[in-house]
Amino acid sequence: MAELHGACHCGAVRVTLPEAAVGVVVCHCADCQKLHGGSFALFATDRAAARWEGEEHIRWYSSSAANERSFCAQCGSRLAKRPVEGSRIMVSAGLFDLGLKRRVIKNLWEEQKPAWIEAQRVGPISPQDFVALALAEPIQSEDAQYGYSTRMSSGNPKPPGVIALTWIAAADPAERERIRAHSRQATQSFLAEPGFISIVTGFTGLRGFTVTAWEDEASMQRALSGPHRVAMLELFGERFVAAVWTSVWTPTRINRLWLRCVSCGALEDLSDDHRDCTRCHAQLPERPAYW
């Protein structure tokens, strides 16, 4: 696995992070301004995933009730911030190779930044960065939990004959990554099955879900005998995943599929695939897939 290698100014403290560490994130909060002498550019990862050498030179300072910060006792380089409760660690981006091909993907606490500093511009974010961010800081509001979702479509226009609904709970972030790797492989193999329609899948926190549409049960069974089967064997053969539920549903009713005509605004029933608007006769776009 590729890694990021960093060191403090004097070299007494060294750190290794997984390449998948989230960042660069820039924190402009008042605490970081004081403690770093400026904003804090950081990589965030699981505490267990960061490896430190020269730990005897690391000093920790309690910067607030919720957070601790570390620095090198020899040279004073700011090393990291970690919440007192929780499993994550934010490591100074300045410790790493300055030629690293990374961009700023998020500014935190911009409202607290000094008036004389411009926040780093955040450009278009890559799908990988977006997913990493959504997983790194799960957002919860009342009963709603936020995460990310992905749709992968085969382009199969047929109405689904069966729908599979599943959810799976990871015990920790490392396990979640293992589930996501399996899921990527399985989805790629589904595309080889002609009866596959499409899948919507994602994660909120440690809980993954899928909604998968198939032409019929036979096509689903054929596809599930691929890499998906390997995942199921691991799941039942070793200590992998905290909880899981799967189900297969058949439709009670498949309703009409409506599409808005861009010329006249009429809502057209496109279930029969006709391509001219019945009101203005303008050419309609292709009917979207059912799922």
Q: Nearer Cβ to Zn ion, position 35 or 169?
A: 35
Taking CB under 5 A as the criterion, which residues in 21-40 touch Zn ion? 27, 29, 32
Q: Nearer Cβ to Zn ion, position 11 or 251?
A: 11
* Binding of Zn ion by 279 (CB under 5 A): yes
Shortest Å, Cβ 30 to Zn ion: 8
* Binding of Zn ion by 280 (CB under 5 A): yes
Q: Which region holds residue 188: left if phi is over 0, alpha if psi is between -120 and 50, else beta?
A: alpha
d(CA 160, CA 63): 56
Distance of CA 267 to the CA centre of its chain: 35
Taking CB under 5 A as the criterion, which residues in 167-186 touch Zn ion? none
Site string for Zn ion, 67-106 (x = CB under 5 A): -----x-xx-------------------------------
Stretch that binds Zn ion, among 113-121, 236-244, 247-255, 281-289 (CB under 5 A): 281-289
Query: 22: closest CA among 178, 126, 139?
Result: 126
> How many residues sit in the footprint of Zn ion (CB under 5 A)?
17
Q: Nearer Cβ to Zn ion, position 117 or 264?
A: 264
DSSP 215: S
Query: 8: closest CA among 97, 68, 79?
Result: 79
Q: Among 90, 105, 199, 261, which residue interacts with Zn ion (rule: CB under 5 A)?
A: 261
Show the beta-strand stretches assigned E in 48-155.
51-53, 58-62, 67-72, 78-83, 88-92, 106-108, 139-141, 144-146, 148-153
Checking DSSP bridges between strand 144-146 and strand 162-169, what pairing results, if any? unpaired
Q: Which region holds residue 237: left if phi is over 0, alpha if psi is between -120 and 50, else beta?
A: alpha
Shortest Å, Cβ 169 to Zn ion: 31
The residues that touch Zn ion, with contacts defined as CB under 5 A, are 8, 10, 12, 27, 29, 32, 72, 74-75, 261, 263-264, 266, 277, 279-280, 282
